[in-house]
Amino acid sequence: MPESISVTLLGSTGLTGSATLRSFLSSTSQAFSICTFTRSAPANTPTGHQATTHANRTFPDLFSAVTEQLASKGDVYVSCLGTTRGAAGGFENQKKIDLDLNRDLAKKARADGASVAILVSSGGANSNSYMGYPAMKGQLEDDLIGMNYEHTVILRPGLLMGPRTETRVPELMTQKVFWGLGKIGLPMDSLRIDAADVGDCIAHFATNPPADKVKIVGNNEMIAAAKLWRAAAGQAKAT
């Protein structure tokens, strides 16, 4: 493994972003130099590796971060950034964050020298879709691929399982249904994924970029990559 890997992480306060940050910080076998960009200072989290560092920069809103240096040559750029239609106040406002801001931040990180991009997208993302949400996610994927990173990893998770800081009643109810179906033995890995697995999967690909220039990763492969990461690190899955 490399001595230390420099990572820029966007969306580190959300469900998948906070899980990803924990995966980086808790690693005992690989050191990371992590920079996060948030609207409020995160909690101070201990690190598993003595050489791992974490610096956070706060902004009134992340649109201001587009003019800042986001990365350096050879860095890994990770985006878990996203919002909901309800939180944004409508779909057009959601697009300003999920598509426009995501695209502009990734473009700036590439211009700054980042060589690997890892994006948390969505299952069913397709820029040709007649439905707004999958079309928006697919357009972001297309834009990111067009930025010509040396390696681009796009994760397409199904239903994300795990505790959120905000309450999303429909999603919470669906989580409970999926959890119950899994408890009685029905195969659910292709439909749902724990946020902890997403975080460990991202840590795996940040440390081991794929041979392919562009790699699309679905639920089952994400879970397999997470298991590889935990096996290599000798760690158990976070709960």
- In a domain? residue 239: no
- In a domain? residue 157: yes
User: From first to last of its 239 residues, what are the pLDDT tens digits of the chain?
Assistant: 678 999 999 999 999 999 999 999 999 999 999 999 998 877 778 899 999 999 999 998 899 999 999 999 999 999 999 998 988 999 999 999 999 999 999 999 999 999 999 999 999 999 999 999 999 999 999 999 999 999 999 999 988 886 655 555 454 454 454 455 445 444 445 568 999 999 999 999 999 999 999 999 999 999 999 999 999 877 777 76
Predicted pLDDT at 165:
57
Q: Are 22 and 239 in contact (CB under 8 A)?
A: no
Predicted pLDDT at 177:
46
Q: What separation in angstroms does the CA of 217 have from each of 56, 101, 132, 198, 226? A: 28, 23, 22, 11, 12
Dist CA 222 CA 203 (whole Å): 11
The structural domain count of the chain equals 1
- In a domain? residue 238: no
- In a domain? residue 160: yes
Predicted pLDDT at 6:
98
Predicted pLDDT at 42:
76
- Domain range for 165 is 4-233
- Helices marked H in 73-168 — which ranges? 85-88, 91-95, 102-112, 132-145
Dist CA 60 CA 64 (whole Å): 8
Q: What separation in angstroms does the CA of 216 have from each of 62, 111, 192, 194, 220? A: 26, 23, 17, 18, 12
- Helices marked H in the chain — which ranges? 15-26, 85-88, 91-95, 102-112, 132-145, 169-183, 195-207, 219-233
- In a domain? residue 226: yes
Q: Which tokens hold the place of 193?
A: 């994924």
Any idea what the CATH number is for the domain that residue 11 is in?
3.40.50.720
